[in-house]
Chains A and B, each alone.
Chain A
Amino acid sequence: MIEFTDEQIERYSRHIILKEVGGKGQEKIAAARVLVIGAGGLGCPVAYYLAAAGVGTLGIVDSDAVDLSNLQRQILHHTPDVGRPKVQSAGEKLSALNPDVRVVPHRQRLTSQNVLSVIADYDIVVDGTDNFPARFLINDACVLSGKPLVHGGILRFEGQLTTILPGRGPCYRCLFPEPPPPGFVPSCQEAGVLGAIAGVIGTLQATEVLKLILGIGETLAGYLLTVDLLTMEFRRVRIPKNAECEVCGEHPSILAPFDYRRRTINHARNARRPRSPVVGIPPTHVAGPPGRTRIT
Chain B
Amino acid sequence: MTTPTVCAKASLNLRGVACPMNYVKTKLRLERMAPGEVLEIFIDPGAPIRNVPRSITGDGHRVLACEPEDGVFRLLIERGPDA
Contacts and interface: CB of A to CB of B under 8 A. Distances in A.
Interface of A: 1, 4, 9-10, 13, 16-17, 19, 22-24
A23 B25 CA distance: 10
Given A22-B83, A24-B31, A9 B59 contact: no
B24 interface: yes
B35 interface: no
B31 A13 contact: no
13 contacts: A1-B32, A9-B21, A9-B25, A13-B20, A13-B24, A16-B28, A17-B27, A22-B27, A22-B28, A22-B83, A23-B28, A23-B31, A23-B32
A9 B28 contact: yes
A174 B8 CA distance: 57
B42 interface: no
A19 B59 contact: yes
Contacts, number: 29
B23 A17 contact: yes
Interface of B is mostly: helix
Interface of A is mostly: helix
Given A1-B32, A13-B20, A23-B28, 10 more contacts: A4-B28, A10-B24, A16-B27, A17-B20, A17-B27, A17-B55, A22-B31, A22-B83, A23-B27, A23-B31
Interface string B1-35: 00000000000000000001101110110011000
Interface string B54-83: 010001000000000000000000000001
Contacts of B20: 13, 17
A23 B32 CA distance: 9
B31 A17 contact: no
A16 B83 CA distance: 12
Nearest to B17: A6
A279 B68 CA distance: 62
Nearest to B25: A9
Contacts of B27: 16-17, 22-23
A9 B24 CA distance: 8
Nearest to B59: A19
Q: Which of B20, B21, B24 has the most CB of A within 10 A?
A: B24
Given A22-B27, A23-B31, A24-B31, A10 B59 contact: no
Nearest to B82: A19
Q: Which 9 pairs across A and B sit closest by C-beta, in order of nearness?
A: A23-B28, A13-B24, A23-B31, A16-B24, A22-B31, A9-B24, A24-B31, A17-B20, A13-B20
